[in-house]
C-alpha cells in the first residue's frame, strides 16, 4: 500500500457503517477541493510575483508554505529542496510540485505546478507576440532596479530562518561556509552539493571504519535519474510544434543548474545544430526569461513561439517542464523514509547546508550588481519590515519596490 493510500481518509471508508460512508466521502471531497483551491491561490500569486531566479523563489515559497500557512516544517522543506537540487529540472518549480504532492496527492501536484508556471508562461507568450511584431524587447530596467533589493531582503530573511533549521552543528556550518567560498571559484553547484553531502555523511557516521560492511548505498533514490535522450535522429529536422516539444523535452530531462546553463543547451540545440535561431534571438529570449517573474525556463515559451507560433509556445513549455513533474512523482515517496538511515540523513544534512551556502552566494551576486544608496535603503527597509512583520504578503513589498524603481528611474 502506498504512502498516499495509507494517509488517504477515503481508503478507510470501507471500515465505516454504511450510513456514515456517504457523509464521510463528501467531507473528504470537500477537504481535497479546499486544499486544491488553497494551492491554486498561493502558487498563482507566487508565479506572478516571484522575480529573481530560483533562490528568490525558494525564499518566497518558504515564506508562504512554512511561515504563513505551516503546511510543512522547515526541515521537511529543506529535504524536499535537497532532493530537487539533485535531479534534473528547475529547482524551485520542482519544490512547488513537491509541496502540491505533499498537500493533495497527484491532483495537488498538477495544480501547484501548473499555477506556478502559468502566469509567467502567459506573460512571456504575450511578450513573444510583441517581439515578433516589433523585433525588440521592452525596456524594464526600472522594474528590476526597484524589485532586486526587495528580493535580496526576502532571500536574507529566508537564509536566517532556514539556517536555524539546516545548519545544526559545527559540521554543517563548516560545509555551508566552504560551499559558499568554493562557489566563487566557479566549481559546479551539483558537484558542491554532492561533495558536501558525502563529506557530512562520512564525518557524522565515522564509526563505519570499524565495520565497513555497514556502509550502505547513500544514493538509492537517485538511480531514477534519466539518461540523456540524445539528439533527435537527424540533423535535418522539420521546424514544427512536434520537434519543438521533443527538443525541449530532451533539454528538460538533462538540465541541471541555472538559467545560464539553459543558455548553453539552447545555444547548442537551436543555434548551432538546427540553425533555427540567431544568437541575438537567443539572448533576447533568455533576457525575457530573466526579467519576468516565475520560472526562468519559460524562456521555452518564447522560443517555442518564435519557432512554431502558438502551438510552439504551448508545446515548448510543456516539453521543458514535463520531466520535472515525472521525476518528482517518482522520487517523492522516498523522501519520508530518507532520514531513517543515519547515512542518508547525514547526506541530506550536507546537501541542505550546501543549498543554504548557494543561496547566500546568489544573494551576494544579486546585491553586488544592484548596490547604490537607493537600493541599499530599499533593501534595509524591506528586511526590517519582513523581520518585524513576518506574515506580511511579499507581493506588497515587491510592488512597492517596483514603484520606487519607477519613480527614481523616471526622474
Residue ranges per structural domain of the chain: 21-217+332-409, 241-322
Instruction: Say whether pLDDT at 18 is over 60.
Output: no
For the four alpha carbons of 283, 284, 290 and 294, in that order, the dihedral sign comes to negative
Residue range 25-30: mean pLDDT, rounded: 52
Q: How confident is the model over 342-381, as pLDDT tens digits?
A: 887 788 788 778 878 877 887 777 677 667 788 888 888 8
- The C-alpha atoms of residue 95 and residue 59 are separated, in whole angstroms, by 11
Q: How confident is the model at residue 144 (pLDDT cuts 50, 70, 90)?
A: low
Cell of 121: 508562461
Q: How far apart are CA 119 and CA 45, in angstroms?
A: 9
Q: Which of 300 and 51 is assigned the larger pLDDT?
A: 300
Residue 224 scores a pLDDT above 60 = no
Q: pLDDT value at position 402?
A: 78
Greater model confidence, 208 or 289 = 289
How many CB atoms sit inside 10 A of residue 49's CB?
20
Average pLDDT over residues 123-137: 83
Does the pLDDT value for residue 271 go beyond 90? no
Other CB atoms closer than 10 Å to residue 115's CB: what's the count? 22
| 232 pLDDT higher than 70 | no
Indicate the SS3 state at residue 148. Answer: helix
Long-range contacts of 63-69 (CB under 8 A, 24+ apart): 63/154, 63/157, 63/158, 63/390, 63/394, 65/99, 66/161, 67/161, 67/390, 67/391, 68/391, 69/38, 69/42
pLDDT of residue 108: 92
Rounded percentage of the chain residues whose pLDDT exceeds 90:
17
Q: What is the predicted pLDDT for the residue at 6? A: 43
Look at residue 237 in the predicted model and tell me its pLDDT: 66
d(CA 193, CA 67): 26
Cell 565495520 belongs to residue? 211
Question: pTM, whole model, 2 decimals?
Answer: 0.65
What is the reported pLDDT for 44? 92
- Is residue 35 predicted with pLDDT exceeding 50? yes
CB-CB contact of 103 with 35 (8 Å): yes
Q: What is the pLDDT of residues 80-125, one digit of tens each?
A: 887 887 777 788 888 999 999 988 888 999 999 999 999 999 999 9
Mean pLDDT, rounded, for 194-198: 86
Amino acid at each position: 500500500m502506498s504512502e498516499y493510500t495509507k494517509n488517504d481518509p477515503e481508503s478507510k471508508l470501507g471500515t465505516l457503517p454504511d450510513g456514515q460512508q456517504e457523509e464521510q466521502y463528501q467531507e473528504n471531497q470537500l477537504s481535497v477541493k479546499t486544499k486544491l483551491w488553497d494551492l491554486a491561490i498561493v502558487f498563482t500569486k507566487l508565479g506572478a510575483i516571484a522575480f529573481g531566479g530560483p533562490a528568490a523563489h525558494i525564499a518566497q515559497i518558504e515564506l508562504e508554505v512554512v511561515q504563513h500557512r505551516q503546511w510543512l516544517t522547515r526541515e521537511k522543506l529543506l529535504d524536499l529542496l535537497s532532493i530537487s537540487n539533485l535531479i534534473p529540472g528547475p529547482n524551485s518549480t520542482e519544490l512547488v510540485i513537491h509541496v502540491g504532492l505533499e498537500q493533495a496527492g497527484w491532483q495537488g501536484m498538477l495544480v501547484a505546478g501548473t499555477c506556478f508556471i502559468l502566469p509567467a508562461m502567459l506573460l512571456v507568450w504575450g511578450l513573444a507576440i510583441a517581439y515578433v511584431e516589433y523585433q525588440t524587447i521592452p525596456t524594464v530596467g526600472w522594474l528590476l532596479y526597484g524589485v532586486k533589493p526587495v528580493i535580496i531582503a526576502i532571500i536574507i530573511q529566508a537564509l536566517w530562518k532556514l539556517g536555524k533549521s539546516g545548519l545544526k552543528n559545527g559540521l554543517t556550518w563548516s560545509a555551508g561556509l566552504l560551499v559558499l567560498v568554493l562557489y566563487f571559484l566557479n566549481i559546479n553547484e551539483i558537484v558542491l552539493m554532492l561533495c558536501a553531502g558525502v563529506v557530512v555523511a562520512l564525518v557524522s557516521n565515522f564509526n563505519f571504519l570499524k565495520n565497513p560492511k555497514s556502509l550502505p548505498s547513500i544514493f538509492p533514490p537517485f538511480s531514477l535519474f534519466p539518461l540523456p535522450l540524445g539528439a533527435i535522429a537527424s540533423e535535418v529536422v522539420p521546424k514544427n510544434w512536434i520537434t519543438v516539444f521533443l527538443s525541449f523535452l530532451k533539454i528538460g530531462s538533462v538540465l541541471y543548474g541555472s538559467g545560464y546553463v539553459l543558455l548553453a543547451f539552447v545555444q547548442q540545440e537551436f543555434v548551432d545544430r538546427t540553425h533555427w535561431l540567431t544568437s541575438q534571438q537567443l539572448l533576447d529570449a533568455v533576457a525575457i526569461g530573466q526579467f519576468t517573474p516565475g520560472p526562468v525556463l519559460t524562456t521555452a515559451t518564447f522560443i517555442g513561439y518564435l519557432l512554431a507560433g502558438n502551438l510552439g509556445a504551448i508545446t515548448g513549455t510543456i516539453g521543458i517542464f514535463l520531466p520535472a513533474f515525472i521525476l518528482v512523482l517518482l522520487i517523492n515517496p522516498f523522501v519520508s523514509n530518507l532520514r531513517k538511515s543515519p547515512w542518508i540523513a547525514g547526506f541530506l544534512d550536507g546537501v541542505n547546508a550546501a543549498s543554504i551556502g548557494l543561496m547566500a552566494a546568489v544573494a551576494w551576486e544579486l546585491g553586488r550588481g544592484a548596490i547604490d544608496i537607493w537600493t541599499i535603503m530599499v533593501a534595509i527597509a524591506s528586511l526590517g519590515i519582513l523581520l518585524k512583520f513576518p506574515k506580511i504578503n511579499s507581493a506588497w513589498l515587491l510592488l512597492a519596490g517596483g514603484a520606487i524603481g519607477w519613480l527614481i528611474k523616471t526622474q
